Structure 1
Amino acid sequence: MAGNANERARLVRNQHLCMCRTAAATCENLRFVLAAALQYRQRHLDRFSELQDSYDRIADEYCKRIFDELAHKPLDRQLLQRLANTVKSGPICDVGCGPGHVARFLKSCEADVFGIDLSPRMIELARRLTPEIQFFQGNMLSLEVADGSCGAIAAFYSIIHLTPEELPKAFLEFKRVLRPGGTLLLALHVGKETVHEDELWGYQVSLDLRFLELREIEEQLHATGFRVRETIERETYGEDVEYRAGAHTFSLRNRNLEDEIT
């Protein structure tokens, strides 16, 4: 009997030791996961801080060079005009609005529009140049906009700084703020390369400009709840008008579509 009791006690001790080792291993794994998550978050914050600082530095020069660019882009103007005509309810959100030139054009098309940009200096310039439009500083991955409140989103060359991991998050955020049947109009450069700029127009910057593959973008849009209504490819307008060749424009819609673009 004493032998059996000793054996049971030994088994209990072994089980307890195993449980302690398992718990210790679980805690170690949890610490590793948390450390990795915090490291990723810090890299994310640092990168967006660099992006914001870079655009703050070049904002005035950017405005001088870019503000009137739509005057030389007839197809872009046509698409924006059609977007303005399509929206039946809710404002258009110009995401990554820069100095507000796209929002300004949409306003000239009698659209209800507001703009959001990461750079405080860009927002300052936008408010000064077009005071009749509301502009806000913010991040497209966490828009301070109510669910289902926008009739459309225009993102003209503003997703080019997002990493492959961030793109689906941005599309989900766009979907969140769009009303059912709302429209998303994207403009981007097509390709596989990533161009890093550490100097632009004489200013020190840290910018990664990502060219995007069409099929990958379409798949991500479908996966996040959009239906591709239209894809338009155009040749570059020329290096004196835009940064790089190979520009493409998308017109997309939320899957909850009740009517079509005419």
Structure 2
Amino acid sequence: MQVGDRRDTDVRHEDQRPPAAVLFDALGHDYEKAFAHAPAHLSALEWLIERLPPAARTLDVGSGTGRPTAAALIEAGHSVLGVDISPVMIEIATRQVPEAEFRCGDIRELPLEADSFDGVCVFFSLLQMTRAEQSAVTRRLASALKPGGHLVLATVPADVEDVELVFMGQPVRATSFAERDIPGIVEAAGLTVLSGHSTSFTPHHPDAEPEPHLFLHCRREETRH
């Protein structure tokens, strides 16, 4: 084998990471700077915090740098388990919000005990999954909620599957649902959509463009059908 030839066994460890980990490892603090002050995100957090019982147990899916979500929940007196597939994000979050617990892992595989969380946050963390995976994860998160618990979900509504695009200067493949279909996915998981909010937001980044955002405020009813 000549210099420059490459065998399958020579593939770098970096190339074996999940695409979402590669993306958010690269973004790091830039993601927080771009999104942490989004008004609709902060409003959804406020909505959830107002409905949590004292010292609630909460789950932050795709916890990123820990700001603003985990930090706001901790400040309100609640405990937080943050899960992110990016080790870089987990390292930043652990440093920035030391009062919370953060785990590096894939929410599709992480064991979740049923009826164990008072609140769940899912802010833009499903977009690199297939549609089937997004539906399955939403069902898992609904089951992890206690009866009467609340979940806030944010996504970019679009009728696309595995589309290639550039996000904040990084290549990414994304999948989502048309806006009209997303409430049905949540309701099929066993949640009631109490309210929704559609908006447009331009991240604070030189390569960013306006994005449609959909926020759903949901509850697991006391008795599931």
In the other structure, the counterpart of 1:240 is 204
Distance 1:69 1:114, change over 3 A: farther
Counterpart secondary structure, 2:63: coil
Distance 1:56-1:72 versus aligned 2 partners, 3 A rule: closer
Corresponding position of 1:256: 222
Q: 1:178 aligns with which of 132, 145, 166?
A: 145
**Partner-residue secondary structure (3-state), 2:131:** coil
Question: Which has the larger Rg?
Answer: 1
Q: Which residue of 2 aligns with 1:230?
A: 195
Which of 44, 55, 61 aligns to 2:23? It is 55
Aligned counterpart for 1:118 among listed residues 85, 88, 105 = 85
Q: Is the 8 A contact 2:142 2:220 kept in 1?
A: yes
Partner amino acid, structure 2, of 1:50: P
Give, in whole Å, the separation in 1 of the partners of 2:185 and 2:38.
27
Identity %: 22
Counterpart of 1:161 (choices 128, 132, 135) is 128
Q: Shift in Å at residue 70 of structure 1?
A: 5.4
Corresponding residue pairs, total: 205
Shift of the 199–167 alpha-carbon distance from structure 1 to 2, 3 Å rule, reads closer
Matched-pair contact (CA < 8 Å) for 1:234–1:247: yes
Q: 1:75 to 1:200 in 2, by over 3 A?
A: closer
Alignment of 1:13-162 (within 5 A): 49-55=17-23, 57-58=25-26, 62-69=27-34, 72-88=37-53, 90-101=56-67, 102-162=69-129
User: How far is the alpha carbon of 1:197 from its aligned partner?
Assistant: 4.3
Q: Is the 8 A contact 1:152 1:182 kept in 2?
A: yes
More contact order relative to length (CA 8 Å, sep ≥ 6): 2
Higher helix share: 1
Q: CA deviation at 1:243?
A: 5.8
- TM-score, structure 1 as length reference: 0.69
SS at match of 2:107: coil
Residues 56, 119 of structure 1: 8 Å contact kept = yes
1:45-97 deviation line (CA, Å, top 9, x unaligned): xx994325413641xxx232222455532232122022112111641100011
Cα deviation, 1:152-201, whole Å, max 9, x if unaligned, reads 11011101112111122101110221101111100111121354247864
User: 173-182 or 67-76, which moves further after superposition?
Assistant: 67-76
RMSD of the alignment, in Å?
2.7
The answer to which of 65-74 and 99-108 deviates more is: 65-74
Runs of at least 4 residues off by over 6 Å? none
* Conservation of the 8 A alpha-carbon contact between 2:151 and 2:217: yes
Q: Tell me the CA shift for residue 239 of structure 1.
A: 4.4
Q: 3-state DSSP class of the match of 1:148?
A: coil
Distance 1:244 1:166, change over 3 A: farther
Task: Please tell me whether the aligned partners of residues 34 and 204 of structure 2 are also in contact (alpha carbons under 8 angstroms).
Answer: no
Whether 1:215 aligns to 2:180 is yes
